Amino acid sequence: MRAEEASSDLERLRALFAAERTANFPEFTDVYCVDAADDVLARFARARRGDPDAALAFLREDYEWRKAEDAASLRSTPPADVLGQSPDVLAEYYRRRCVGLDSAGRLTFYQAYACCVVKKLKTVVPLENVVKYHAWEQERATAMLDALRSRNRGDGTMAVILDVAGMTIGKHINKDFIWLVKAIAAHDQSHYPERMGVTFIINAPGVFGLVWRTVRPFIDPATRDKIKIVTARTDWREEVRAALGDGVVERVEGGVDVDGDHARPPAAVAASLCASMVGRDSDESAGAATTPARPVSPPVEGALAPAPLERRSSSAELDELWPPDASPERPLEAPLLPLEVADDVKLEQMETGDAPPSEGSEEASAPKKPRPIRRFEVLALAQVLAAFVVAAVAAGVLLSKDAGAFTGTALLAAVLALPLTALGLRAVYRRDADAFVMYTFLQLGLVLALCFLSVASLTIAANGRVSATVRFHRASVGCACLVQLLTSSATTYSSFGVHALFGA
């Protein structure tokens, strides 16, 4: 049914496009560097499923942009002219490698973000130029995809592996990084629709949840479905191998870059990839005809692991890069489930790194709360118990003759901690980010008040000029307030983890 709807959308878009091609798209084939319009129309029809009019408007906007920016000329423009300096300066901060074709014949890229320290990058290259350079990379990749498609290889989409291992809030996540990621995502979404086949985000640490929630509202829902999150606690090799093939994992770990020098035209790179694929298919066909199938022997204990592949900066020997199990007709195995926008269970897995529970288990039927929320609940309970201790001590002192000025204030602070904790828990359970922000500010005020009460009471208790009874009462109140101060401070600190979880 979906294929029929897609075909219907394409037919309607063809009719709309033909009606105004002469008036609004006179240089279509030159602007898009294609011989026929069908592949381009099909991509835009899929990008605006069920709405050919919106697809045509989208196409018109992209056509005007490509013509105004002369995007087609990027395919033959040296990268140094785009960046404004040698692309070698990006090597320390921005690394993207083409690792050949996956098992479905799609062009595959690998990019590591651990080195992408944007606050340092912008001191070397203006961030606007980095976005332009990314546009150049995308245009070059698009040229290779079109060349592969003309040779009946792949489906015109690419596979991308983004390695976010080592990302931290202090080092990587700031307003410049967020701006750069948003700018690149907006550019790709506006001008390269339906070019992403699948994207694996591997080695995702807990901090990546904050980045993902910041960026994902700017990503089309259909595109989000193609993004697979693999946490740092999961072996990404198994997930990528199941979806993209063994060869991709080997080439990623071996540092292979089949287009590292950018010396050859994109069509020449695609032709080499296709030639290597044809040679590999022929060898496998001949081997299958002469060699009977045999079971794979288990690995011998103590055997040496194969040596890693050597790093290559060009594609001189591409016949070794196509995976042995590659075949154009081979279907993709089930990949890791995509992370949905409103899927709390998967959001929890991304934040905590927990593997998804198996079907039928008790854990699957009743998913655990995210770890930051569980921690907050425990500390909030401890704060309530400490408040009861302060209230009991303050009430006892108030009944004596030497109550003092700070005792009533301590009792008030203890009483206020109860509704304040209730406010925080209510905001958590209802996922009310605004109410939780209010709770955090009030909690900070309570911490400051308890800090003052503890110091003031213990200072009076240390004064030798007052009576022993007064010193005892002040010491009791001061110690009780100190206990509540510690639990309140811990609860306040844990609330920041909840803020990160909610994206507040």
**Which of 172, 278, 185, 261 shows the shortest CA–CA distance to 223?**
185
Condensed to tens digits (0 to 9), the pLDDT of residues 232-285 reads 878 899 999 999 998 999 999 998 898 887 888 898 988 888 877 655 555 544
In this structure, the answer to whether residues 60 and 155 fall within a common structural domain is no
Question: Does 74 reside within a domain?
Answer: no
Condensed to tens digits (0 to 9), the pLDDT of residues 390-414 reads 888 888 887 776 666 677 888 888 8
Burial (CB < 10 A; 0-12, 13-18, 19+), residue 402, is middle
End-of-domain residue from the set 354, 385, 406: 354
In this structure, the answer to whether residues 339 and 412 fall within a common structural domain is no
| Predicted local confidence at residue 402, as pLDDT | 64
Confidence band of 57 (pLDDT split at 50, 70, 90): very high
Q: Is the pLDDT of residue 42 over 50?
A: yes
Q: Could you tell me if 148 and 274 are in contact, meaning their C-beta atoms sit under 8 angstroms apart?
A: yes
Burial (CB < 10 A; 0-12, 13-18, 19+), residue 336, is buried
Question: Does 159 reside within a domain?
Answer: yes
In this structure, the answer to whether residues 343 and 487 fall within a common structural domain is no
In this structure, the answer to whether residues 40 and 140 fall within a common structural domain is no
Number of structural domains, the chain? 3
Range of the domain at 123: 79-284+311-354
In this structure, the answer to whether residues 85 and 15 fall within a common structural domain is no
Question: Does 58 reside within a domain?
Answer: yes
The CATH number of residue 195's host domain is: 3.40.525.10
In this structure, the answer to whether residues 387 and 262 fall within a common structural domain is no
Q: pLDDT > 90: what percent of the chain?
A: 25
Give, in order, the Cα–Cα distances in Å from 196 to each of 156, 192, 200: 9, 8, 11
Question: Does 38 reside within a domain?
Answer: yes
Beta strands 196-204 and 158-163 are: parallel
pTM over 0.75: no
Question: Does 119 reside within a domain?
Answer: yes
End-of-domain residue from the set 354, 389, 408: 354
Condensed to tens digits (0 to 9), the pLDDT of residues 288-302 reads 444 343 333 344 333
In this structure, the answer to whether residues 345 and 404 fall within a common structural domain is no
| Predicted local confidence at residue 411, as pLDDT | 82
In sequence order, the β-bridge partners of residue 98 are: 109
Question: Does 303 reside within a domain?
Answer: no
**Which of 425, 243, 403, 265 shows the shortest CA–CA distance to 334?**
243
End-of-domain residue from the set 295, 323, 354: 354
Q: Is the pLDDT of residue 341 over 50?
A: no
In this structure, the answer to whether residues 136 and 215 fall within a common structural domain is yes
Q: Could you tell me if 390 and 414 are in contact, meaning their C-beta atoms sit under 8 angstroms apart?
A: yes
**Considering the chain, what is the average pLDDT of its residues?**
78
Question: Does 290 reside within a domain?
Answer: no
Question: Does 149 reside within a domain?
Answer: yes
Assign 3-class secondary structure to 288-306. Answer: HHHCCCCCCCCCCCCCCCC
In this structure, the answer to whether residues 10 and 51 fall within a common structural domain is yes
| Predicted local confidence at residue 262, as pLDDT | 84
In this structure, the answer to whether residues 320 and 396 fall within a common structural domain is no
Q: Could you tell me if 379 and 487 are in contact, meaning their C-beta atoms sit under 8 angstroms apart?
A: yes
In this structure, the answer to whether residues 18 and 48 fall within a common structural domain is yes
Q: What is the rounded distance in angstroms from the CA atom of residue 103 to the CA atom of residue 77?
A: 31
In this structure, the answer to whether residues 30 and 84 fall within a common structural domain is no
